[in-house]
Chain A
Amino acid sequence: MSTGQQTEHELYRSEPAVYVYEAPVRIWHWVNALCITVLCVTGYFIGSPLPTMPGEASDHFLMGYIRFAHFAAGYVLAIGFLYRILWAFLGNHHARQLFVVPITNLNWWKGVMHEAKWYAFLTKEPHKYVGHNPLALLFMHVMLVWGTVFMIFTGFALYGEGTGMGSWQFEWFSSWIIPLFGQSQDVHTWHHLIMWVIICFIIMHVYVAIREDIMSRQSMVSTMISGWRTFKDNRAVDDED
């Protein structure tokens, strides 16, 4: 980095901004975040219930309400996910990025390596991206997209056990997913384990979003609120398309 040149540029800097996340994507992001929070909390308490309630059974419905919140949030998450897939077709090209990982593109893999080095403090500067950086895309695609798909399928399979044979939830999900895992107990266990995968993802996701905002060359957190990506320098971006 030559400091002199940069300063000269930045004197005349007119920060270009790009409209990346359209309103439907932003709404989905925050609704999804809320759903995941509700699902993790209620899901945890379904597996390890709160201390026992005193009095008559007819006076309480605690487990019922916790399960209701879980199922309701699950439905919202699933419908939101379908809506997000639909928006990948209807929205701008950034809306598609989450679902299409260019795994055959060698340059993209170089980008992954570069970002990994940036996070390992092995390189001075990250690349500059309008969309998701390659490492972010890789993690979001694997852990969030496929994690969500897994949770929706196993979640409906478990839900279908309650709605019973003949219900669409049972026919579409439980009838083949339960035998696939062997029995219901293993489906519960995997549903539980992937929840923790998603929790790990959230820890990294929140940290990285804030860190990128502070230390990288483009805006991050504010972009998911306003939709606009702003930049801290006006050199060329690395994912021009």
Chain B
Amino acid sequence: MTETFYEVMRRQGITRRSFMKYCSLTATALGLGPAFVPKIAHAMETKPRIPILWLHGLECTCCSESFIRSAHPLAKDVILSMVSLDYDDTIMAAAGHQAEAIIEETIEKYNGNYILAVEGNPPLNQDGMSCIIGGKPFLDQLTHAAEHCKAIISWGSCASYGCVQAAAPNPTQATPVHKVIHNKPIIKVPGCPPIAEVMTAVVTYILTFERMPELDRQGRPKMFYSQRIHDKCYRRPHFDAGQFVESWDDEAARKGYCLYKMGCKGPTTYNACSTIRWNEGTSFPIQAGHGCIGCSEDGFWDKGSWYARLTDIPQFGVEANADKVGATAAAVVGTATAAHIAASAVKRAMQKDAQPGSQKGDE
């Protein structure tokens, strides 16, 4: 049996008296009557902390790096008080066989009740040999842990969409989690990395309400991924006014105009950067003067330059955007039309020469 919230609080030196004060304050804050104080206390005393297994596949650990920088709530509070993070090879003390044994222990002990958080994804080519954990392909660990879990959190663009290791030509055939695990609910939290507060908030939500947050059609929590960066961007008035940065060192760049022409992917990227921002709400890429690169969108590595508004389209091995492809097609059609006009005129002239009598009667 894992520790309850109450036991954790006691262990951290909180007295029974303080705990009861906390319960009454919580009841008041939530607008509940005094009758709810014992109910809250009872829940805290009996509700076990949800165990989490945090696996790492092909990834760069930027998700973990982001997670530990969460300010609201602090990552330490999440890890030490809210969840029972049983396995996370990056931040756990145990190593080697001792660490790997914890996975088996958790699976056995909390069969069907733990959350599986996945950072990174499994490569499928070469029998999965491009990512080996404890001597076995990561795919084995993933499918084994997924089989007994309650739900899966796909951390970051790697687990959600594939990210850089799945970018063309994807030699290891890195595959996002939802394409290998089909029978479990999956929450995608894309981003490279996802925003720290978004990560902790997703965990907090699941713990507090004991259910998944509401997801959109792509499996992302609606509360953080329902709007584009563009929709809440503080530079939006410059976009509507038609005021754009034309090059990195121009006056417009210094004035903080819209980065649309510099290839900002804000208009096509669903994330909460322009509202929650990063590093305790200090800033986000656009605020720092660089366009959004669309890191939380599917296949963002393969959509051409981050510094061009129009997407590159590979055709015949040469890259061009829709305008170049289209204008070339239009020019070909236009030239063909002109040639056809000339040929038609010649034909008509020849007919007139050949049939002078008939043409007179005709016109």
Residues of A within 8 A of B (CB): 3, 6-7, 10-11, 44, 47-53, 57-64, 66, 119, 121, 161-162, 164-165, 175-176, 179, 182-186, 188-189, 192-193, 195-197, 199-200, 203-204, 207, 211, 214-215, 232
Contacts and interface: CB of A to CB of B under 8 A. Distances in A.
B237 A179 contact: no
A61 B240 contact: yes
A203 B217 CA distance: 40
Contacts of B343: 121
Contact of A184 (B243, B245, B297): B297
Given A60-B241, A207-B337, A195 B326 contact: yes
8 contacts: A49-B261, A57-B240, A60-B242, A119-B340, A179-B217, A189-B310, A193-B325, A211-B344
Given A49-B261, A52-B252, A182 B299 contact: yes
Contacts of B322: 47, 189, 192-193, 196
Contacts of B278: none
Interface residues of B, number: 59
A184 B252 CA distance: 27
A52 B242 contact: yes
Interface stretch (B70-78, B177-185, B199-207, B355-363): B355-363
B244 A185 contact: no
B330 interface: yes
Contacts of B357: 3, 7
Contacts of B172: none
A59 B228 contact: no
A106 B309 CA distance: 47
A35 B217 CA distance: 33
Given A184-B269, A204-B333, 18 more contacts: A48-B323, A49-B260, A51-B246, A52-B244, A57-B238, A176-B217, A182-B299, A183-B268, A183-B299, A196-B322, A196-B329, A197-B326, A197-B329, A199-B326, A203-B330, A204-B337, A207-B341, A215-B348
Contact of A185 (B217, B311, B355): B311
Contacts of B93: none
Contacts of A62: 241-242
A200 B358 contact: no
Contacts of B265: 185
A29 B246 CA distance: 39
Interface string B240-271: 11111110000010000100110001011110
A199 B334 CA distance: 10
Given A185-B303, A189-B311, A215-B348, A57 B268 contact: no
Contact of B243 (A44, A52, A121, A196): A52
B329 A185 contact: no
Contacts of A204: 333, 337
What is the predominant secondary structure among interface residues of chain B facing chain A? helix
B173 to A, nearest CB: 18
Nearest to B326: A196
B13 to A, nearest CB: 44
Interface of B: 216-218, 222, 226-228, 231, 237-246, 252, 257, 260-261, 265, 267-270, 294, 297-300, 303, 309-311, 313, 321-323, 325-327, 329-330, 333-334, 337, 340-341, 343-344, 347-348, 355, 357-358, 361-362
A162 B229 CA distance: 11
Nearest to B327: A196
A185 B297 contact: yes
Nearest to A233: B362
Contact of A57 (B231, B241, B313, B340): B241
Nearest to B261: A49
A49 B358 contact: no
Contacts of A232: 362
A211 B348 CA distance: 11
B241 A184 contact: no
A213 to B, nearest CB: 12
A49 to B, nearest CB: 6
A63 B268 contact: no
B161 to A, nearest CB: 9
B228 A49 contact: no
Contacts of B217: 175-176, 179
Given A164-B226, A203-B330, A207-B337, A59 B325 contact: no
A60 B243 CA distance: 9
Contacts of B329: 196-197, 200
A200 B333 contact: yes
A192 B268 contact: no
Nearest to B332: A200
Ranked nearest first, the 10 interchain pairs of A and B with the lowest CB-CB distance are A196-B326, A62-B242, A192-B322, A60-B241, A184-B268, A57-B241, A64-B240, A185-B268, A63-B242, A57-B237
A188 B311 CA distance: 9
B117 to A, nearest CB: 23
A50 B244 CA distance: 9
Contacts of B216: 165, 175
A123 B245 CA distance: 57
B241 A53 contact: yes
Contacts of A192: 310, 322-323, 326
A168 B308 CA distance: 31
